[in-house]
């Protein structure tokens, strides 16, 4: 299970370039708290600030190895994020959902209902969907692998075009 974030360490911000646009990284010495596409950053930043964290922008060659993992993922090493130290802020339930997301194999999809079943919340697919939507670690915690009951693409903070692209990217390397 991902560790629970305690207190409010200073988070350092940096930007990583991807084929889908820039991503903002929030990290501290214990790991990566957020990895979000630039357009979704304001929402994630508000959540981080609510956690009484101080945010400080700094240039870093590769905070916690994020840039290297992002580059490897887009080059086809779909498990690159497995080696990344993650420390996202969230409730115990959120972290259970995010841990379950990390168990979905690259190139695969599951439904919200199946995700709810996997976290022991059989009828709680809406709650699971909400926790999925609060995921601050786009791509690293692969919420893009969750689809609607009929297999249709549903909600993705980075936009459905990015979700479609990510799923096609992973399919190419399976």
Per-residue pLDDT tens for 132-165?
Answer: 999 999 999 999 999 998 889 988 888 899 999 9
Q: Which domains does the chain have, with CATH numbers?
A: 11-83 (3.30.160), 92-172 (1.10.10.10)
The answer to whether residue 9 scores a pLDDT higher than 80 is no
Active-site pick, 33, 64, 69, 143: 143
DSSP state of 4: P
Q: 137: which DSSP letter? A: B
Residue 143's pLDDT is what? 94
Instruction: Reply yes or no on whether 64 is catalytic.
Output: no
pTM (predicted TM-score): 0.87
């Amino acid at each position: 299970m991902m560790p629970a974030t305690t207190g409010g360490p200073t988070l350092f911000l940096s930007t990583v370039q991807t084929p889908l646009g820039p991503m903002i990284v929030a990290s501290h010495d214990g790991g990566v708290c957020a990895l979000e596409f630039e357009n979704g950053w304001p929402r994630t930043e508000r959540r981080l600030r609510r956690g009484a964290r101080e945010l400080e922008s700094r240039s870093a060659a590769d905070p916690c190895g994020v840039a290297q993992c992002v580059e490897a993922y887009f080059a086809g090493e779909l498990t690159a994020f497995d080696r990344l130290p993650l420390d996202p802020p969230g409730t115990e339930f959120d972290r259970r959902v995010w841990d379950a997301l990390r168990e979905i194999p690259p190139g695969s999809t599951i439904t919200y209902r199946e995700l709810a079943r996997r976290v022991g919340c059989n009828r709680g697919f809406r709650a699971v969907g909400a926790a999925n939507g609060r995921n601050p670690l786009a791509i690293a915690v692969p919420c893009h692998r969750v689809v609607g009951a009929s297999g249709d693409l549903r909600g993705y903070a980075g936009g459905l075009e990015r979700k479609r692209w990510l799923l096609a990217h992973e399919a190419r390397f399976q």
